[in-house]
Chains A and B, each alone.
Chain A
Amino acid sequence: MSLFDKFQPIIDIQAELQALGVMPFGAITEKLLSSTEAIVDGHKVILAGTNNYLGLTFEPECLEAAKQAIDELGTGTTGSRMANGTFAGHVALENELAEFFDRRHAIVFSTGYAATMGMGSTLAGPGDVIVLDADSHASIYDGVRLGGADVIRFRHNDPADLDKRLRRLGDRIENTLIIVEGIYSMMGDQAPLAEIAEVKRKYGGLLLVDEAHSLGMLGAHGRGVAEAAGVEDDVDFIVGTFSKSLGAIGGYCVSNHDQLNAIRFAIRSYIFTASPSPSVIASTRAALRLMQERPYLRDQLWANAQRLYDGLQALGLQVSPQVSPVVAVTIKDRNQAIDWWNRLLQLGAYVNLVMPPASPGDDSLLRCSVSAAHSAEQIDRIIDAFASVQGSAQAL
């Protein structure tokens, strides 16, 4: 036995993939041609797996803001928010996020992972209880394990199961944090947040919603699933990321609880890491502004999502349970999924290959994410690539 033995399954899969000549988990993006096209592993592809939902990564205003920040403030802050790493831009972004979400307080983190992991590990500790959706993101699971609270799962998107779990808690409900996501990252399905909020109202506890994949997509202002479901008042904390619809990197938490400003100084993933670089903050602020000024991007995004969903469904593929900017195709056989991923790349469509345990069940996924910046013609080319791969599979 050695420390390395536990990595053998990963080494075996790597060897298997290498023998097939496919490296889906190390695909190299060599050149970006636009927010929707790139050269990946030597192939010119449409990017259909980058979570660039609003397509803002090459917006001139975002680029200019980032460049100006580099010129004026340098490349990095070289320190923690709690030490030398709080610049005026960080505070301005927190104020702008609070205003956008119509909440009193906001915290900016260096990554989305740090935000969810940090909040999950800090809000509930030993003796407390966390009740989370079974399909929660790894950053949530990592955080709650670190925090030391009793962690109870409820069946994915099942408010009745949540009801049972909360009922069983009795008095412990006072020390309970419920965690769900807005849109789930792998299958793109939405949380039934109105029903979940109703269960929370019935029993109590605090509710945290991760809107990483729903910011800028849903609700009258683009605030996410909580806004769309009309239950923002029931949500105590919203966390999310800048690395998807805002095209940068970083994370946030917003809340009306005044304690958030004290909690900030207890979150280790906030304290013991360098703050986001000035250029990242500057482009995020510009993107947040553009997202509000251009609500039509949401309409384009959903039109593209519907087009891709309908197209893949018409091919008879097993697609996600509901239309969303994340469209996942389930492939039962892992080797078939690897083969399809590789062929799609060669045909000019870059999607994400997801294998267990990252996928929700035992199956593998070819996960597509749609952008507002995709043209209808690009969406059709993605569908054509799937049709072609499917056709050659059926011909065998």
Chain B
Amino acid sequence: MPDYNEFLARIFEILKPFAKQGLILNEETELVTDLGLSSLQVMELIERIEDHFDMSIPLNILPDIRTVHDLAQQLEKLTRS
């Protein structure tokens, strides 16, 4: 079962192309404000994580996610539930 750090590593990898020059991705990077992800791109990010970890992520968790840390934390919570 993947842990927080594994989720984090994968999220960083997927988000790398979205980081504009000079922006270093970290746990506090905000998906919409800092990276400018559209709602469609957020859904694509979710789908790629789902495929990689063979898991389904309910839409219900999205309102609680602002940063990379929030996402990794919610994913870890899902795998524990």
Check B56–A362 contact: CB distance below 8 A. no
A150: contacting residue among B38, B55, B60, CB under 8 A: B60
Contacts of A361 in B (CB 8 A): 40
A362: contacting residue among B38, B47, B55, B60, CB under 8 A: B38
Interface residues in chain A, defined as those with a beta carbon under 8 Å from any beta carbon in chain B: 129, 134, 145, 150-153, 155, 164-165, 168-169, 356-357, 361-362
Check B43–A152 contact: CB distance below 8 A. no
Q: Is B57 an interface residue (CB 8 A)?
A: yes
Check A152–B57 contact: CB distance below 8 A. yes
A45 vs B59: C-alpha distance when bound (angstroms): 42
B55: contacting residue among A134, A151, A168, A356, CB under 8 A: A168
| Size of B's binding interface in residues, CB under 8 A | 12
A168 vs B54: C-alpha distance when bound (angstroms): 8
Q: Of B38, B43, B56, which is in contact with the most chain A CB atoms at under 10 Å from its CB?
A: B56
Query: In chain B between 56 and 73, which residues have their CB closer than 8 angstroms to a CB of chain A?
Result: 56-60
Check A152–B56 contact: CB distance below 8 A. yes
Q: Is B39 an interface residue (CB 8 A)?
A: yes
Interface residues in chain B, defined as those with a beta carbon under 8 Å from any beta carbon in chain A: 38-40, 43, 47, 54-60
| Closest residue of A by beta carbon distance from B57 | A152
| Closest residue of B by beta carbon distance from A153 | B59
A10 vs B12: C-alpha distance when bound (angstroms): 33
Sampled A-B contacts (23; CB under 8 Å): A129-B58, A134-B43, A145-B59, A150-B58, A150-B60, A151-B58, A151-B59, A151-B60, A152-B56, A152-B58, A152-B59, A153-B43, A153-B59, A164-B56, A165-B56, A168-B54, A168-B56, A169-B56, A356-B40, A357-B40, A361-B40, A362-B38, A362-B40
Task: Give the distance to chain A from B26, nearest Cβ to Cβ, in Å.
Answer: 26
A263 vs B8: C-alpha distance when bound (angstroms): 43
A155 vs B58: C-alpha distance when bound (angstroms): 14
Contacts of A150 in B (CB 8 A): 58, 60
Check A155–B38 contact: CB distance below 8 A. no
| Closest residue of A by beta carbon distance from B63 | A145
Task: Give the distance to chain B from A49, nearest Cβ to Cβ, in Å.
Answer: 24
| Closest residue of B by beta carbon distance from A361 | B40
A155 vs B59: C-alpha distance when bound (angstroms): 14
| Closest residue of A by beta carbon distance from B58 | A150
| Closest residue of A by beta carbon distance from B41 | A362
Contacts of A145 in B (CB 8 A): 59
Task: Give the distance to chain A from B79, nearest Cβ to Cβ, in Å.
Answer: 12
Contacts of B38 in A (CB 8 A): 362
Contacts of A164 in B (CB 8 A): 54, 56
Contacts of B57 in A (CB 8 A): 152
Contacts of B43 in A (CB 8 A): 134, 153
Contacts of A151 in B (CB 8 A): 58-60
Contacts of A169 in B (CB 8 A): 56
A145 vs B39: C-alpha distance when bound (angstroms): 16
Check A155–B60 contact: CB distance below 8 A. no
Q: Of B47, B54, B58, which is in contact with the most chain A CB atoms at under 10 Å from its CB?
A: B58
A134 vs B42: C-alpha distance when bound (angstroms): 13
A152 vs B58: C-alpha distance when bound (angstroms): 5
Task: Give the distance to chain B from A336, nearest Cβ to Cβ, in Å.
Answer: 20
A151 vs B58: C-alpha distance when bound (angstroms): 5
* Besides the known contacts A151-B60, A152-B58, 5 further A-B residue pairs in the complex with CB atoms under 8 A apart: A129-B58, A150-B58, A151-B59, A168-B55, A362-B40
Check B39–A357 contact: CB distance below 8 A. yes
Contacts of A134 in B (CB 8 A): 43
A129 vs B59: C-alpha distance when bound (angstroms): 11
Q: Of A153, A155, A164, A357, which is in contact with the most chain B CB atoms at under 10 Å from its CB?
A: A153
Contacts of A129 in B (CB 8 A): 58
Contacts of B59 in A (CB 8 A): 145, 151-153
A350 vs B81: C-alpha distance when bound (angstroms): 52
Contacts of B54 in A (CB 8 A): 164, 168
Contacts of A362 in B (CB 8 A): 38, 40
A228 vs B47: C-alpha distance when bound (angstroms): 31
| Closest residue of B by beta carbon distance from A150 | B58
Task: Give the distance to chain A from B77, nearest Cβ to Cβ, in Å.
Answer: 13
A165 vs B50: C-alpha distance when bound (angstroms): 10
A362 vs B37: C-alpha distance when bound (angstroms): 12
Contacts of A356 in B (CB 8 A): 40
| Closest residue of A by beta carbon distance from B59 | A151
